[in-house]
Amino acid sequence: MKIVVKETEQEASSYVAEIIGTALREKPGLSLSLPTGSTPVHVLEDLVRKHHEEGLSFAKASLFNMDEYLGLGRNHPQGYYHFLDELLYSQVDVDRARTFAPDALDPVPEHAAAAYTKLIQDAGGFDLIFLGIGRDGHICFNMPADSLHPYTHLERLSEKTVADNTRFFDDASEVPTHAITIGLKLVLDSKKIVLLAIGSGKNDIVRELLASESITTQLPASFLRLHDDVTIVLDAAAAAGIELA
Ligand code: PGA
């Protein structure tokens, strides 16, 4: 895994935006999966800036949410499709017909999950996936557990994750406890993977991830060690005190 440390959150985010921008320029029809939450905010801002100032085009790209809260529709203000719509799709030249998310309103979530796996596979998988990491080591919403899932599935969120996500909701009781998320095989099938971790809150999990070469279901991000093209981008706060080879 290639590790890149930048001083500030902004610099680390710009580095990731440049990886995405370069991939899009090289392949306008890029198949790209993007995260939500705090981590991608400055990356998405920088992609919007690149669109306006540098003519970066998303018109031919396919964009995939990696997860969606169960029960939240595309227009729900706390939903993840809505998040990417607000911060990226509505501000660039994305073709909305090529923006995808699991159908979290499907009364049978397993059907929605299977349909999403098929959609991704029919698209040929991802060229690039940009990941965040949870403080418990989750990627997408693959939570630490005794076993993990390869494909899209319904996941119960860990207590730590539900607690972390309350900051996006007015009332803690509104925070969804389940999500539909892509699984580890769909992540690892991506041709290229970039993971961004920023801030001191991610320091412990980044230390744990980099401390050992072992792969464990208790730290889902450790599965990235199975992939040959992974770049982990950190700011100084996330990398603090960690010895990097
Ligand atoms: P965050 O979430 O970007 O809001 O810290 C990370 C994650 O859950 O993957």
120 in helix, strand or coil? helix
**pLDDT digits 0-9 by tens, 165-206:** 898 888 888 899 999 999 999 999 999 999 999 999 999 999
Crossing angle of helices 41-54 and 80-87, in 10° steps, is: 40
Domain boundaries, given as residue ranges, for the chain: 2-239
Q: Which residues contact 226 (CB under 8 A, 6 or more apart)?
A: 188, 215
* Cα–Cα dist 162/148, whole Å: 19
- Read off the tokens for 163: 């607690």
> Closest ligand 1 atom, CA of 201?
5
The ligand 1 atom at the shortest distance from the C-alpha of residue 165 is 4
**Cβ of 199 below 6 Å from ligand 1:** no
At 174 the pLDDT is 87
Integer Cα distance of 9 and 16 in angstroms: 11
Classify 241 in phi/psi space as left (phi over 0), alpha (psi -120 to 50) or beta: left
Q: Is the CB of 79 under 6 A from ligand 1?
A: no
Strand, coil or helix: what is 90?
helix
Atom 7 of ligand 1: nearest residue by CA position: 134
Phi, psi of 220 (to 5 degrees): -55, -35
Instruction: Map residue 172 onto helix, strand or coil.
Output: helix
Q: What is the CA radius of gyration of the chain?
A: 17
The CA 29 to ligand 1 mean position distance, Å, reads 27
For the chain, list residues with pLDDT below 50: none
Predicted pLDDT at 79: 94
Ligand 1 atom with least separation from CA of 37: 4
- How far apart CA 44 and CA 128 sit, in angstroms, is 15
Helical H runs in the chain?
Answer: 9-26, 41-54, 80-87, 109-122, 159-165, 184-188, 203-211, 236-239
CATH 3.40.50.1360 fits 2-239, yes or no: yes
pLDDT of 171: 86
Q: Read off the tokens for 168.
A: 């996006």
